[in-house]
Chain A
Amino acid sequence: MPTDTGTIETLANKEYEWGFVTDIDADALPKGLNEDIIREISRRKDEPEFLLDFRLKAYRHWLTMVPPQWANIKYPPIDFQDIIYYSAPKSKKKLASLDEVDPELLRTYAKLGVPLAEQKLLANVAVDAVFDSVSVATTFKAKLAEMGVIFGSFSEAVKTHPDLVRKYLGSVVPYSDNFYATLNSAVFSDGSFCFVPKGVRCPMELSTYFRINAKETGQFERTLIIAEEGAYVSYLEGCTAPMRDENQLHAAVVELVALDNAQIKYSTVQNWYPGDKQGKGGIYNFVTKRGKCLGQNSRISWTQVETGSAITWKYPSVILQGDNSIGEFYSVALANNYQQADTGTKMIHIGKNTRSTIVSKGISAGHGQNTYRGLVKVLKGAADARNYTQCDSLLLGDQCGAHTFPYIEMKNTTSRAEHEASTSKIGEDQLFYCKQRGIALEDAVNMIINGFCKEVFKELPMEFAVEAQKLLGVSLEGSVG
C-alpha cells in the first residue's frame, strides 16, 4: 500500500510547532564546569551552606564517573565543558507578582498554551514555569498556602523552607546515584518544590512548565514533591524547546516521597525539540525520576507521554518500601525520524504485599528506535508482592525498530510477576476497514494510534490528555461510549 505508507509518514513527520525562540536578555555564566562555576551558581542563588556542600560533594563524585553506555542509544560523546550551566532571563528587579513578569516571557508561555494567567483559575491548575534555568512565576500560591500546601520554585523553597529541603533532598535520588543525576546534583539551577501536609488533599492539579530557550544551554532542574500522611497531590509537567541545530542537554532529577496513606500522581507530557528529519539537533534528555513509597499503603503513579527529544533516557521508578504500597507506571513513547527512546521503569519491592503495574506503549515511526527497559525487583522481605507488566509496541513503516528488555529479579517465593508483550504494525486491514466506512486515512491512523494508547491516556488528567493527543497529532475518543 504505497499511498498509505506515504501518508502515514507525512502524518508522522508533522513539523515541530514549538520551535520558536524568545528574544530575551539572558544572564548566563560562561561555558564549562568547575568548582568556581558551582560556587557561583550557589552564590547567585544565595544558597545556604548545606546546599553548596551537596553540590560540591556531587561534583567531586561526578569527576570519578563516566557516562553510562548500557542504553540502546547512539550519540557522539557530549563535551561537558561546552555547555552553559546557568542561564537566567535578565530582569531588573525582584518580582512580586505575575503582573511584573516580562511580557515577552508571558507571550512565550501563552504561545505554548501554558495556563499562566489568572483567568485560568477556572482551569484549576497552578503553574510553576521554568524558563531556561529559573522559575518565572507561580500562580495560585496564596490559595494553596491557605491549605498549607507549599508550591513554588525550588530556589524559593530553599529560602523559605530550608529544613524540608535539607531533610528530603537526595533522599530518593542520592547525589552519587548515576552520572546524569550526579551532574544535576552539582549544577541544578531551579525546578519545582511541592509539600502537601498531613491529611490535605491538594484541591487543584499542580503544574510545571519547562522551557529551554537559550542557546548552548543545559537545563538541569530539580523537582521535589513530598506528600505527608494521608495527603494527595496530582502533579503535571510539560516541556518544550526551540529548534536548534545543536543538541542541547537536559538532565533533570525528580524525587517524590509519599508517607503513610499518601498518594502522588505525576504526569509528564514531554515534547522537547526532537531534532529535524535528518536527525540534526534536538534535546538529549537524560532524566532520573524516582519515587519512594516510604509509608504504608502509599501510592505513587507515573504517567508519561514522551513525544519529543532526540534521545530519551528515562526510567521513572518507584521504591515500594512501605507495606501494601503501590507503584504504577503508564507510558506512551514515540520515536520518529531519527529519535531514540530508551525508557521504562524500575519497581523495587521491599515492603510486604506491595503491588506494581507497568503499562508501556511504544510507537516507532520513520527511523525511530524505541526501547522499553524495565526492572522488577522483589527483595527477600517483600512477601506476597505482585507485579503486572504489559509492553506493547506499534510500528509505522518498516525503517523503525522496537526493542524490549524486561528484567525480573525475584528473591521472595511468595511473590509473583507477570509479563505480557506484543508488537504489531498498523495493519492494512485495519486501515481499509476504516476507509470502507468513509473515514479518511489520516483520521483512521489517528484513531488506531489513540486506541493503542488508550490505557495510558485514561490515566492522565483531562486537560493533559487533551494536550497529549494533540501532541501525537491525533484526536482522542469522544465523549460517547
Chain B
Amino acid sequence: MPILEIKDLQAGIAGRQILRGVNLTIVPGEVHAIMGPNGSGKSTLAQVLAGRDTYVVTGGSVRLDGQDLLELSPEERACAGLFLAFQYPVEIPGVSTSYFLKAALNAVRKYHGQPELDAMDFLKLMKQKMKLLDMDPSFLSRAVNEGFSGGEKKRNEILQMAVLDPKLAILDETDSGLDIDALRIVAGGVNSLRGPDRGILLVTHYQRLLNYIVPDYVHVLRDGQIIKSGDKNLALELEARGYGWLEEPAAVH
C-alpha cells in the first residue's frame, strides 16, 4: 500500500488557486523530490499536507497509509505519522528543546496507545539520536530554536524527525541557509533515516541537496501541477537547462 497517495489535489489561499490538480504516489522506502521554480506551489503542497488552515483545499483527495488525511487535524496528522521539517523553524522562548520534544513524542505515543516515556528513557533516546546529527547535549536545555544558527535549526528539525520516527517525512527546503558542512551533516542524518518503512518527500529549489540525498524519483511542479517526473537524472538536467524547456504537463508517476 502506498504511504502517500495524492489525487487531483486542488488548494489555494484567499480565493487564489495555487495547487491545480496534484497527483503523487509514494511507496514506503522511496525518496521523492519535488522541484520547481519559485511560486510553483512546492511549499504550499507541504503546508497543505501538514494541515495548515490558512490554505483551503478545494478538491481532490489525500491518503496517508490508507487513511483520509484531509479529515484529520494537524496534530492528528502528526500523530498518524506525517512529519514536516519546516523551512523556517519557529522559536518558542522559554520552552526547552527536550521538554518540547518529550511532549511531542508522548503525544504521538499516547495516540497509538503506548505508555509515555519516562525522563530516563527519553534522555537515553535523545542522546542516541543526537549523536546521529553530531549535536551537543547542551541543545536539550536550550529554548526551542531560540538563538539557533541556521544550521542548528535545520539539524534540530532532523533530530525531531529521528525521535518521532514518522511514516512520511516532508522536508521543506531543508537545504536553504545551510553551508556545505551543515548540509553534509543534515543530509547524513536524513540518509540514516531512510528505510523500507518510511517515505520521504524532499521539497527543494536547488539540485544541490540531491547530490547528498539521492532521490528515487524527481518531479517538477509548475503552476500547481506536476508537469514532469523522472529519476535523479531529471534533477541534473534541470540544473543544466533550467525549467524553461518544460512546457507541457507530462504523465505522472
Q: Which residues of A are interface residues toward B (Cβ below 8 A)?
A: 1, 3, 427-430, 432-441, 443, 447-448, 450-455, 477-481
A480: chain B residues at CB < 8 Å are 96, 98-99, 102, 119, 122-123, 140
Chain A nearest CB, measured from B127 CB (Å) = 12
A447: chain B residues at CB < 8 Å are 92, 95, 99-100, 103
Interface of chain B: mostly helix, strand, loop or mixed: helix
B10: chain A residues at CB < 8 Å are none
Check: B64 CB closer than 8 A to any chain A CB: no
Chain B nearest CB, measured from A331 CB (Å) = 15
In the complex, are the beta carbons of B104 and A437 less than 8 A apart?
yes
Q: A3-B53, A430-B91 are in contact. List 13 more A-B contacts (CB 8 A).
A: A1-B54, A432-B50, A436-B83, A437-B107, A438-B108, A438-B111, A447-B100, A450-B94, A450-B95, A452-B94, A454-B94, A478-B99, A480-B98
B122: chain A residues at CB < 8 Å are 480
- In the assembled complex, 17 residue pairs joining A and B whose CB atoms fall closer than 8 Å, in A order, are A428-B54, A429-B90, A430-B90, A430-B92, A433-B86, A435-B51, A435-B78, A436-B74, A437-B101, A438-B104, A438-B108, A443-B103, A447-B103, A450-B94, A450-B95, A451-B93, A481-B97
B91: chain A residues at CB < 8 Å are 430
In the bound complex, how far is the Cα of B143 from the Cα of A480, in angstroms? 13
Check: B73 CB closer than 8 A to any chain A CB: yes
Check: B3 CB closer than 8 A to any chain A CB: no
In the complex, are the beta carbons of B50 and A436 less than 8 A apart?
yes
In the complex, are the beta carbons of A441 and B75 less than 8 A apart?
yes
Chain A nearest CB, measured from B100 CB (Å) = 7
User: What is the chain A residue whose CB lies nearest that of B119?
Assistant: A480
Chain A nearest CB, measured from B162 CB (Å) = 13
Indicate the size class of the contact surface on chain B: 35 or more
Write out, one digit per residue, whether chain B residues 121-154 have a CB within 8 A of any chain A CB (1) or not (0): 0110000000000000000110100000000000
In the bound complex, how far is the Cα of B104 from the Cα of A373, in angstroms? 38
Interface of chain A: mostly helix, strand, loop or mixed: helix
Chain B nearest CB, measured from A17 CB (Å) = 25
Chain A nearest CB, measured from B39 CB (Å) = 21
Check: B229 CB closer than 8 A to any chain A CB: no
Which of A1, A428, A439, A441 sits near B104, CB closer than 8 Å?
Answer: A439
B79: chain A residues at CB < 8 Å are 438
Q: Which residues of B are interface residues toward A (Cβ below 8 A)?
A: 50-54, 73-75, 77-79, 83-84, 86, 89-105, 107-108, 111, 119, 122-123, 140-141, 143, 160, 164
A432: chain B residues at CB < 8 Å are 50, 52, 74, 90
In the complex, are the beta carbons of A439 and B75 less than 8 A apart?
yes
B96: chain A residues at CB < 8 Å are 477, 480-481
User: What is the chain B residue whose CB lies nearest that of A455?
Assistant: B94
B78: chain A residues at CB < 8 Å are 435-438
A429: chain B residues at CB < 8 Å are 90
Chain A nearest CB, measured from B241 CB (Å) = 35
A478: chain B residues at CB < 8 Å are 99, 102, 119
B103: chain A residues at CB < 8 Å are 437, 439, 443, 447
User: What is the chain B residue whose CB lies nearest that of A361?
Assistant: B94
In the bound complex, how far is the Cα of B54 from the Cα of A244, in angstroms? 42
